[in-house]
Amino acid sequence: MPSWLVFTVFVSFLLFQDTLADEPRISITVPTKQCYYPDGSPTNVTDYQPCNNAEGMASMCCAIANRGTNFSDTCLPNGLCRSGTATGTQLWRESCTDPKWQDPACLRICLSRDQFYDWIVDDAPVTMCEDGTVCCGDTEIGGRRCCAAGSGFRLPNMSALVPPLDTMNRVPGNIDPPPSSTFTIETSTGPPTGTSTPSPSPLPPPKNNEKAKIAISVSTAIAVSIVALAAAYIFRRCWARQTRIQPYRNDSIDCCERIVDSRG
């Protein structure tokens, strides 16, 4: 093969590689929502996940992958979490996706500590009283005593901040839910004010296929040109050989076939 044909093939390959190198590459990273305790410390992302996965909105979190197979949490519309225990079920105030806990979606209750517990850096057990109010603590840490004394408080209306049950994270289990009257929540007259403002989500730039189309067109044209030049080169050699060896014979086609066969 002549040097000019080798040079043409080499330059064409370099141009094709350079065109593909300029093609933009788009990488999309899907962020994972982190949940936080009231003091701002992060929770275990494997166990605690948001109850509301809507983009740009804060949400309460529950340990939906925690406490064993049958004891995983269930998100409730009032912002609490329900988990199974050895003796039944337990309500919890857990974490929130807002690290400062300033968003109205964060259920700011049971934010206290003493020598026996610290609910600012941990989940807080919640007891539902018969009158529809709630008390911080379980039956062993003041919850039952608080209900008996009538010291419970009413939860804020979280219906506008929590999605319907069919869109919430749930983990199926063998926990039988308590009677519906146990979870009757009355709307308080002074719900938290303010709304969460969804932050704009940047969209990935549209993929530019113009350079790819140009690269395909250029490579196709180069390939056709190389094939045509190679065919012309073989025919030229065939004709020269036929003229030099057998000037009176007019069978250049047989000559070309022999050259092609010898090269194959």
- The verdict on 135 and 79 lying in the same domain is yes
Q: Is residue 202 part of a domain?
A: no
DSSP string, 142-173: THHHHHHTT--BPPP--TTTS--GGGS-----
* Nearest by Cα to 174 from 39, 30, 67: 67
* Nearest by Cα to 79 from 60, 99, 55: 60
Final residue before a domain boundary, out of 167, 194, 221? 194
- The verdict on 8 and 90 lying in the same domain is no
**Domain that includes residue 255, residue range:** 3-24+208-263
C-alpha 44/C-alpha 62 separation (Å) is 11
- The per-residue pLDDT for 47 is 87
pLDDT tens per residue across span 25-78: 444 444 558 999 999 999 988 889 999 988 889 999 999 876 555 678 999 999
- The verdict on 17 and 101 lying in the same domain is no
123 in Cβ contact with 94 (< 8 Å)? yes
Global pTM reads 0.50
Final residue before a domain boundary, out of 194, 217, 246? 194
78 in Cβ contact with 156 (< 8 Å)? no
- The verdict on 70 and 92 lying in the same domain is yes
- The verdict on 138 and 233 lying in the same domain is no
Final residue before a domain boundary, out of 137, 169, 194? 194
Residue 85, φ and ψ in degrees, nearest 5: -130, 180
64 in Cβ contact with 168 (< 8 Å)? no
- The verdict on 14 and 46 lying in the same domain is no
Q: Is residue 232 part of a domain?
A: yes
Hey, CA dihedral for 134, 137, 139, 141, is it positive or negative? negative
Hey, CA dihedral for 147, 152, 156, 157, is it positive or negative? positive
List per-residue pLDDT tens for the chain, 264 residues long.
566 555 566 656 665 555 555 555 444 444 558 999 999 999 988 889 999 988 889 999 999 876 555 678 999 999 999 988 777 789 999 999 999 999 999 999 999 988 888 999 999 999 999 999 999 998 777 889 999 999 999 998 655 444 443 333 333 333 333 333 333 333 333 433 333 344 444 444 444 566 667 777 777 878 777 877 777 777 777 666 666 655 545 554 555 555 545 555
- The per-residue pLDDT for 51 is 93
